[in-house]
Amino acid sequence: MALDTSVPNQKVTIKAGTVLFPEGSAANSLNVLHSGALRYLVDAPGSRKLELFKISGANLTPGASALFGSGRYPFTIVAEQDCVLSTYVMSQSTVGRSLAARSSLGIMVGRSLLREITESFKRVNQLRKIASDMGKTNDNLSLLYYQFNPSVFPDIKPGQPIADPSSEIVDPVLRLARENLKHYFDNGGILPERPTANYVEEDHSQLLVKYYPEEIEFQDGEFNFVRKVILADPNLLAQLFAPDPSMVSYVCDKLGRVQNNLTENAKSILEELDEDFSLLLGGVESLTEKYFLILDMAASGYATAPPEFVVPILQVVSQKIERALAGHQALFGSAIVGPSPNIKPFIEKTAGLAKKFEASNPTAKAASNGSGVSVDGSADATAIRKELANSASTIIQFSGMGGDAIKEFSAMMVKLKSLKNPLDSDNDTRKLRRSITKTYFDIYAACFQKYVSSGKNVPKPVDLMLKYGFFDETMLDDSQLVFMSTFKDAITSVSDIPIHYGTEWLEKIYKRECPTSLDELGQNFFDKVKMDNRNAVFKKESDLPPDIDNPEARLKFEFGAMYEANVRLTTGSLATYLPILTKYHSQIPLGKAYVTKKMLTDTIHDIMAVDFSVFNREVIYNNPEMGINKEFVQRAIVPDFVIVPSIGSKIMMWQELSIHRGSGSKESRGRIVLPIFVQGDLKSLLIDAFAAFRWELCKTILGPEWNNVGNPSITADYMDYVQFYKKNKDLSIEIKEKLAAEFKRFRNERDIFANDYQLWIKYEAEGVQRLNRVVRGIFYRHIPFARTIREKVSKMPAFGEINNRFVNIRTRKFTELENRYKKYINALGSLPDPLRENMEFYRV
pLDDT tier, 218 (very low <50, low <70, confident <90, very high otherwise): confident
Q: How confident is the model at residue 416 (pLDDT cuts 50, 70, 90)?
A: very high
pTM (2 d.p.): 0.67
Q: How confident is the model at residue 364 (pLDDT cuts 50, 70, 90)?
A: very low
Q: What is the mean pLDDT of residues 678-696?
A: 93
Residue 174: which pLDDT band, with cuts at 50, 70 and 90?
Answer: very high
Give the helix ranges, DSSP H, for 454-560: 460-468, 478-486, 502-510, 525-532, 551-558
What's the pLDDT at 361? Answer: 56
Residue that wins the pLDDT comparison between 374 and 742: 742
d(CA 389, CA 473): 7
Question: pLDDT for 29-80, tens place per residue?
Answer: 999 999 999 999 999 988 889 999 999 999 999 999 999 988 999 999 999 9
DSSP states of 455-478: TT---HHHHHHHHH----GGGS-H
Higher-confidence residue: 664 or 428? 428
pLDDT at 2 over 60: yes
Segment 103-128 mean pLDDT: 92
User: In angstroms, rounded to a whole number, what is the distance separating the alpha carbons of residues 743 and 733?
Assistant: 15
Structural contact between residues 184 and 204, judged by C-beta atoms closer than 8 angstroms: yes
Closest CA to 561 of 519, 521, 508: 519
Q: Is the pLDDT of residue 360 over 70?
A: no
Whether the Cβ atoms of residue 567 and residue 437 lie closer than 8 Å to each other: no
pLDDT of res. 587: 65
**String of DSSP letters for 684-750:** HHHHHHHHHHHHHHHHHHHGGGGG-TTS--HHHHHHHHHHHGGG-TTS-HHHHHHHHHHHTTSSSHH
Tens digit of each residue's pLDDT (9 = 90 or more) over 445-459:
999 999 998 888 999
491: pLDDT strictly greater than 60: no
Q: How far apart are CA 130 and CA 115, in angstroms?
A: 23
State mean pLDDT over 779-789. 95
Q: Which of 785, 759, 779 is nearest to 186 (CA)?
A: 759
Percent of the chain, pLDDT > 70? 95
Contact 631, 835 (CB under 8 A): yes
Give me the half-sphere count of Cα atoms (radius 13 Å) on the Cβ side of residue 443.
29
